């Protein structure tokens, strides 16, 4: 074997050596992912082994594609490669760039997966949007060991450089094997065949495809089977978000009927509903957005850790919506969705970052006689959220960093405790002036870097020694820091209610507490149906309406959506308004079959769907394949063949919500 290796031309051996080194790098990162990031509810070693097998083939494909330029250079130059300083320098620079680029992409992928539970995709570009780079950079700096990572990458690249120099010098010192004519052609052809076979990657009539990695319904297994760099490249698209008028008109009748549009018109595409008001004293409205808070982590949904006792008290004294959903997992998309009444279905960036989608006719602007506030601890230039409010709400007052007396706690601004403390002064002042107000209060500390304070001096972080770790492992939490951040958020909700009571405006205020999306969790199985496996768990969030003396405490199982919040509180306050978008009144019991429109990523593929009390209907955005799941039966079995009429109705509704949203994003301008 050693004799055979020595008789291979040294430039061919150089290509083989560099291919092996690069391949080992991809395998190393796959091993790191598997040991430290991989999470799955599947324990079958055969399935895990298949994921590894496919993943290694994808890694080989990436390696060979990257080695091709170097291989061509070396094979064409042949033995001159070891005597030419220029060719040596070109190869060194190229390999350095390849290793640097791959290492950075893999590190970004691991960080992205740790944060969202998803492989790196083109939406990562939103974090480098103009005006937001500094905040996002600070968040990364405060959340991750950036300096150590940079030092580690630099050291790693130095070792790679030394290995490359060693390999080059060792081969350069050997006697060249002369290859001419058919001998050279044979080696060249053999190299081409080996590379082509490795890139093809399949013992079949079709090449290895990314869809083969999705042989289970499990996101973790699929993530293990894919190569993140190839996945990123395959999914990168520069196509702009747009709409199709003809498709909108096709599905408009179904949406118009569902929404009960005043004057349906398939040509004008009118979605307007006029809601009369009531002549009575106006209550205050405070919407509290709970950062990264899904239903599954809260006490109201049987989480074993019972981390949210204050939320539980609010739910027990108010209205808890057990089946409440946000349209997509993203804080910016949630703020846009609740404010405009439109799901943010953009693929790469967010609607708040799209100038043509910001201008909207919204219900918050119709609270005549109200003072209007938007409050957050950081800066509203984040995700261009400022424009969502300032361009759509007349006279809105924005309170952000620079206004507060408290110092910044982290990249997201002042702590939630300080934000609520100072917001109370604003609310109390309006109350003392007998001026009703509608406020959007946005929390942020239940988010990396999970900064907590002692609050009033009585909040204490828990450690592993303080809790039952066996129970903790079944609760879905990824880390103790994540768990403590949720406890801190819950603590601050108690602080808000206490201040409202002391400030005298509690009984004259309608509070709505809602999660903006679920956080990244380990597999959990204590919910009524397997939402983790179905993909809907990320969008399932708590929603509580708390209004002492104004409502009867109850639990509502009818599905609700983030889009429905403003229509609901406007009616509760007696405000006359026109609804131009897709939300409906959550408390209107005349709606017999309610559905929430959601989008989610499952098995690394995007779906649009509607979910009701019994059925979930989904459509794959890429291939159009649909499925109907009976949540009261076998929730993981596609039953559309058994319920064709239900599937048809829900298909029209799903497509209708999607196409209507695309249209209204561009055509609901003031």
Domain end (from 186, 218, 236): 236
Write down the pLDDT at residue 3.
Answer: 57
Reported as a single tens digit per residue, the pLDDT across 241-272 is: 789 999 999 999 999 999 999 999 999 999 99
227 lies in the same domain as 316: no
Assess whether 258 and 173 both reside in one domain.
no
Residues 6+ apart with CB under 8 A from 310: 490, 491, 493, 494, 497
Residues contributing to the annotated binding site for substrate: 447
Same domain, 394 and 494: yes
User: Based on the domain organization, do 393 and 473 belong to the same domain?
Assistant: yes
Number of separate domains in the chain: 2
The mean per-residue pLDDT over the stretch 322-339 comes to 97
- Residue 125 belongs to some domain of the structure: yes
- Asked whether residue 228 falls in the same domain as residue 249, the answer is no
- Boundary of a domain, candidates 236, 255, 274: 236
Residue 69 and residue 35 in one domain: yes
Q: What is the pLDDT of residue 120?
A: 84
* 432: pLDDT strictly greater than 50: yes
In a domain? residue 406: yes
Q: pTM of the prediction?
A: 0.88
Predicted confidence (pLDDT) per residue in 639-663, tens digit: 999 999 999 999 999 999 999 999 9
Q: Which of 175-179, 189-193, 263-267 has the lowest mean pLDDT?
A: 175-179
**CA geometry: angle 145, 149, 151, nearest 5 deg:** 125
Give the torsion sign (CA, 23, 24, 27, 29).
Answer: negative
pLDDT of residue 387: 87
Residue 633 lies in a domain: no
Condensed to tens digits (0 to 9), the pLDDT of residues 111-154 reads 889 888 888 877 777 777 666 777 778 888 888 888 998 999 99
Whether 455 is covered by a domain: the verdict is yes
Three-state secondary structure along 394-458? CCCEEECCCCCCCCCCECCECCHHHHHHHHHHHHHHHHHCCCCEEEEEECCCCCCCCCCCCCCCC
Tell whether 660 is covered by a domain: no
User: What pLDDT shows up at residue 239?
Assistant: 52
pLDDT of residue 623: 92
Tell me what pLDDT residue 111 has. Answer: 87
* 602 or 287, which is more confident: 287
Are 258 and 304 in the same domain?
yes
Q: What is the mean pLDDT of the chain?
A: 93
Predicted confidence band of residue 240 (pLDDT cuts 50, 70, 90): low
pLDDT band, residue 237 (cuts 50/70/90): low
Question: Binding-site residues for Mn(2+), please?
Answer: 291, 331, 516-517
Mean of pLDDT values over 439-448: 97
Residue 626, pLDDT > 50, answer: yes
Say how many residues make up the chain: 670
Q: Residues 473, 526: one domain?
A: yes
Q: Is residue 51 part of a domain?
A: yes
Long-range CB contact pairs, 37-41, < 8 A, 24+: 37/110, 37/113, 37/114, 38/220, 38/223, 38/224, 39/117, 39/220, 39/522, 39/523, 40/218, 40/219, 40/220, 40/221, 40/224, 40/523, 41/218, 41/220, 41/523, 41/525, 41/532, 41/533
Q: Residues comprising the binding site?
A: 291, 331, 447, 516-517
In a shared domain, residues 259 and 324: yes
pLDDT, tens digit (0-9, with 9 covering 90-100), for 364-408: 999 999 999 999 999 888 888 888 999 899 999 999 999 999 999
Residue 581 lies in domain: 245-342+359-543+563-588
Looking at 331, 350, 443, 581, which residue is catalytic?
A: 331
What are the two backbone dihedrals, phi and then psi, of residue 474, each rounded to the nearest 5 degrees?
-90, -5
For residues 370 and 51, give the distance between their C-alpha atoms in angstroms, rounded to a whole number.
Answer: 57
- Which residues, in sequence order, are CB contacts of 498 under 8 Å at separation 6+? none
pLDDT confidence of residue 238: 45
* pLDDT on residue 384: 83
Half-sphere exposure of 534 (CA within 13 A, CB side): 31
Q: Same domain, yes or no, for 263 and 373?
A: yes
For residues 62-74, give the mean pLDDT. Answer: 95
Decide if 250 is inside a domain: yes
**Comparison of pLDDT for 222 and 130, the residue scoring more:** 222
Q: Is 453 a residue of the active site?
A: no
Specify if 131 maps to a domain. yes
**CA angle 38–44–50, rounded 5-degree value:** 75
**Do 400 and 425 share a domain, yes or no?**
yes
Q: 590: burial class by Cβ within 10 Å (0-12, 13-18, 19+)?
A: exposed
Residues 256, 126, single domain; the answer is no
Name the domain boundary from 218, 236, 254. Answer: 236
- Residue 259 sits in a domain of what CATH number? 3.40.720.10
């Amino acid at each position: 074997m050693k004799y055979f290796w020595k008789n291979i031309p040294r430039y061919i051996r150089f290509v083989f050596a560099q291919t092996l080194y690069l391949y080992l790098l991809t395998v190393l990162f796959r091993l790191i992912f598997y040991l430290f990031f991989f999470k799955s509810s599947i324990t079958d070693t055969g399935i895990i082994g298949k994921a590894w097998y496919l993943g290694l083939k994808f890694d080989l494909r990436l390696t060979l594609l990257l080695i091709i330029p170097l291989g061509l250079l070396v094979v064409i130059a042949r033995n001159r490669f070891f005597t030419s300083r220029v060719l040596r320098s070109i190869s060194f620079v190229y390999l350095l760039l390849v290793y640097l680029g791959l290492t950075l992409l893999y590190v970004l992928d691991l960080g992205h997966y740790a944060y969202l539970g998803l492989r790196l995709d083109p939406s990562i570009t939103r974090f480098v949007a103009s005006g937001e780079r500094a905040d996002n950079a600070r968040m990364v700096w405060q959340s991750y060991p950036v300096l150590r990572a940079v030092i580690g990458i630099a050291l790693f690249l130095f070792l790679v450089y030394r290995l490359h120099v060693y390999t080059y010098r060792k081969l350069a010192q050997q006697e060249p094997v002369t290859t001419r004519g058919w001998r050279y052609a044979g080696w060249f052809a053999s190299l081409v065949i080996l590379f082509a076979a490795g890139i093809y990657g399949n013992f079949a009539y079709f090449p290895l495809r990314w869809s083969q990695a999705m042989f289970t319904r499990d996101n973790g297994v699929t993530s293990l089977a894919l190569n993140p760099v190839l996945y990123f490249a395959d999914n990168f698209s520069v196509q702009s978000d747009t709409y199709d008028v003809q498709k909108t008109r096709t599905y408009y009748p179904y949406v118009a009927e569902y929404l009960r549009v005043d004057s349906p018109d398939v040509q004008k595409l009118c979605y307007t509903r006029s809601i009369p008001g009531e002549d009575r004293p106006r209550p205050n409205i405070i919407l509290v957005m709970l950062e990264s808070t899904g239903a599954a982590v809260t006490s109201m949904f049987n989480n074993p850790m019972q981390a949210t006792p204050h939320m539980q008290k609010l739910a027990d004294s108010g209205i808890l919506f057990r089946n409440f959903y946000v349209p997509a997992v993203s804080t910016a998309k949630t703020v846009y969705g609740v404010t405009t009444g439109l799901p943010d279905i953009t693929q790469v960036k967010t609607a708040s970052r799209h100038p043509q989608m910001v201008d909207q006719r919204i219900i918050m602007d119709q609270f005549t006689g109200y003072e209007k506030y938007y409050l957050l601890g950081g800066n509203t230039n984040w995700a261009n959220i400022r424009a969502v409010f300032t361009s759509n709400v007349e006279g809105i007052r924005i309170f952000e960093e620079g206004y507060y007396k408290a110092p910044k706690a982290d990249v997201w601004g002042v702590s939630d405790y300080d934000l609520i403390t100072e917001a109370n002064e604003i609310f109390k002042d309006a109350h003392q002036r007998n001026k009703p107000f509608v406020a959007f209060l946005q929390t942020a500390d239940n988010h990396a870097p999970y900064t907590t304070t002692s609050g009033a001096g009585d909040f204490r972080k828990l450690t592993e020694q303080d809790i039952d770790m066996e129970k903790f492992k079944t609760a879905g939490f990824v880390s103790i820091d994540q768990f403590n951040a949720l406890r801190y958020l819950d603590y601050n909700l108690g602080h808000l209610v206490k201040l409202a009571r002391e400030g005298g405006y509690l009984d004259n205020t309608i509070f709505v507490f809602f999660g903006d999306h679920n956080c990244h969790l380990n597999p959990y199985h204590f919910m009524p149906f397997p939402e983790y496996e179905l993909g809907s768990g990320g969008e399932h969030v708590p929603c509580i309406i708390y209004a002492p003396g104004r409502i009867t405490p109850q639990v509502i199982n009818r599905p609700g959506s983030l889009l429905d919040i403003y229509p609901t509180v406007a009616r509760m306050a007696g405000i006359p308004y026109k609804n131009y978008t897709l939300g409906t009144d959550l408390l209107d019991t005349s709606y017999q079959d309610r559905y929430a429109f959601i989008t989610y990523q499952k098995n690394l593929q995007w779906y649009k769907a509607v979910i009701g009390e019994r059925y979930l209907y989904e459509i794959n955005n890429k291939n159009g394949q649909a499925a109907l799941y009976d949540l009261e039966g076998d929730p993981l079995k596609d039953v559309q063949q058994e319920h064709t009429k239900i599937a048809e109705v829900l298909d029209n509704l799903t497509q209708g919500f999607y196409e209507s949203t695309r249209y209204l994003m561009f055509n609901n301008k003031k």
